[in-house]
Structure 1
Amino acid sequence: MRRLLDRLDRAFFAEAPAERLAIVRLLVGGFALVYLCVRAVHLQRVGHLPPEGFRPIGVISVLSAPLPLWAVRALIGAAIAAGAAFVAGFKFRVAGPLFGALLLWVLSYRNSWGMVFHTENLLVLHVIALGLAAAADAYSLDARAAGRTAAGPPSGSSAPAPHGRYGWPLRLLCAITVTSYFIAGVTKLRNSGLDWALSDILRNYVAYDNVRKIALGDTHSPLGGALVRYGFLFPPLALASLAMELGAPLALFSRRIAVVFCGAAWLFHLGVLLTMAILFPYPLLGIAFAGFFELEKMRDLRRPRRAGPA
């Protein structure tokens, strides 16, 4: 048992370069910042809604009444400002946790007015995890101010060496990602059992989703509406999605399995978009899976190869 715990400890705190964690910070933080900016107008509109529709969830449960409009706008503005500092790696020890807290608050507040956007959960958890890590020790204003860069500064001081403090946040991000998919798979089994993969449940869900959107005049998927005529297609698709979700934790133990999982999850979200017009931008852009890959090696692809000796 002790040996197993030691192996798990070494795996979770495996050394990783500061550049890898910093690139993930730029990708995740950049997406979160753009997401906030694009949805800023929509997020502040809840300040105009009747107070009767306020149903606080999560951290918002501390409130017994809605916030005034000026406070809603101020918090959104503060979240955007903290997000910019998060991406730039400026005063990250403060900006990192602050952005995670503000993002959680702003998005939870919006979700306290009716529809809950589950697509935001993974993003928020990733930002919080990165905000509590040493994710600005490279490719950041803090690193530049300290006289170092990811590639090593001209001043002679060296870039941070690979260390477990850069490895555990990446492993945590991966663990959060696979857990979110595993929970989805378990939920399917609890609600439907194996009928999810052996019956017309998925087919009926696709049909219902598109019919409802057509009735409401919302964007729907013509492809999904056409495919429901072919019932034999859906049990294999349902089984594949269930296998991907339940097998997700295996991605933590093998790089090859991780690549397969990331590809399968990406195809799953592509299928959801094509058949139900439901967009999950965070995983579809691949950012949700960034922690699984050695992203710092991309810079080597840009370097021209030196010709060998004649």
Structure 2
Amino acid sequence: MSRWLTEAVPRGRIAAFRTLIYLFVAADLVVFTPWVRARVDVPGDLYQPLFVGRLLPLPTPTPALVGVIFWALLVLVLLAATGRAHRVLGWTVFALYFQWMIVAMSYGKVDHDRFALLVALAVLPTAGRARHGDPTPTEAGGWALRVTQIAVICTYFLAALAKFRFGGLDWATGSVLAKAIIRRGTELADLIAQVPHLLLVAQFGILAFELLSPAIFALSERWRHVTVGFFYSFHLVTIATITISFAPHLVAMTSFLPLEKIRPLVVARRLLTGRLAGSRATLDPGITSPTPTADSDGQPDATRPGWAWAVPRSRKASRSRTTAAP
């Protein structure tokens, strides 16, 4: 069990996951949950904090308090996405976002799609230093990803238990999806609803999918990735039919993927330095190359940057030009 929990992963995967998670938190503040700042305009009597909010205890939110949390979190999360000071920034971001979520969910509605994201924010500060593209294995990073993966699967499995707890088998045999389609369904959902018994089959399928989700840990890496693809397709259908977005959960679910193969910072650096453009010019003869510079005797100077992009394709021609250059 210890080896499984701390299975080493490349540091590059941790760097990519860390950047993705923190950038999503920034997007969440301005795109998905900006309404949190408006909730504090209601009377304080309507604020009924979650159990953890009463346990700590946390103050009743005010416009000033929520505004400070918003702007501090927005700045710090962008700094944390760079991977610098991962412990100090990581713990601070987790504390502030945790408070942000308590404010958001203490007015009568609790979204379970943010559980895995909060777990990811809690464990990322323990993952250690990581650079994009670094293949060095890390057990600390493996533990952080594994715990996040467990939280992702718990979101499914515990959702099934909650369905049985509050609805029993009536959840599967009732009109849950029909009511959701009536409330917020799309045209695609209207077409699906016309197929006899399809919604009942879908409800049984959802329960089976959620109850069997822990089996993903018994699969090989290849089939685990296939299963994760199925999870994403399930949420795509959910968004397309009843417009329910699980964006925080979907971001946390990338903990199952080999993110080290995606190196956005390296690509950006190459774009800025011109290396990527230079390689494209070498591979594509149709790309116009800069005019090579010349030295005092009129011959092209191979030591200058412009000449490197004008090297001919032919090896024979390349040797002749190199010989001609001083």
Give, in whole Å, the separation in 2 of the partners of 1:11 and 1:26: 25
**How big is the alpha-carbon RMSD for the aligned residues of Structure 1 and Structure 2?**
2.9
Query: 5+ unaligned residues in a row in structure 2: which ranges?
Result: 268-275, 280-326
Instruction: Tell me what 2:25 maps to.
Output: 32
Could you list the structure 1 runs, at least 4 aligned residues long, displaced by more than 6 angstroms after superposition. Answer: none
Distance 1:60 1:246, change over 3 A: same
Q: CA offsets, 1:59-108, max 9 Å, x none?
A: 32245862332112111212212211221122211111111111111121
TM-score normalized by structure 1? 0.76
Query: Which amino acid in the other structure matches residue 104 of structure 1?
Result: F
Other structure's SS at 1:48 match: coil
1:99 aligns with 2:109: no
Letter of the 2:200 counterpart: P
Decide whether the 8 Å contact of 1:51 with 1:65 is kept in 2: no
What is the aligned partner in structure 2 of residue 164 from structure 1?
139
Gaps of 5+ in 1: 1-7, 140-149, 152-158, 214-219, 305-310
* Aligned residue among 205, 215, 218 for 1:240: 205
Task: Normalising by structure 2, report the TM-score.
Answer: 0.73
- 1:209 pairs, out of 180, 194, 213, with 180
- Which of 4, 16, 19 is equivalent to 2:12? 19
Q: Distance in 2 between matches of 1:39 and 1:222?
A: 23
**Cα distance per residue 1:128-157 (max 9 Å; x no partner):** 2213322x4224xxxxxxxxxx45xxxxxx
Distance 1:131 1:231 in 2: 50
Q: Of the candidates 218, 231, 247, which is equivalent to residue 265 of structure 1?
A: 231
Q: Which residue of 2 aligns with 1:144?
A: none
The match for 2:294 is none
Determine whether 1:175 maps to 2:139.
Answer: no
After TM superposition, give the deviation of residue 268 of structure 1 in Å: 2.0
What's the offset of the Cα at 1:41? 4.2
Count the aligned residue pairs.
Answer: 267
Within 5 Å, which residues of 2 pair with 1:1-310?
A: 8-39=1-32, 41-61=34-54, 62-63=56-57, 66-134=60-128, 136-139=129-132, 150-151=133-134, 161-197=136-172, 199=173, 201=174, 204-213=175-184, 220-254=185-219, 255-283=221-249, 286-298=250-262
Asked if 2 retains the 8 angstrom alpha-carbon contact of 1:40 and 1:76, the reply is no
* Per-residue deviation, residues 274-298 of structure 1 (Å, max 9, x unmatched): 2212122234xx5232111222134
**8 A contact 1:18–1:166 mirrored in 2:** yes
Q: Match of 2:300?
A: none
Partners in 2 of 1:170 and 1:40 — Cα distance?
A: 25
- CA deviation after TM superposition for structure 1 residue 113, in Å: 2.0
Instruction: Give me the whole-angstrom Cα distance separating, in 2, the residues matched to 1:239 and 1:46.
Output: 37
Name which of structure 1's ranges 118-127 and 60-69 shifts more when overlaid on structure 2: 60-69
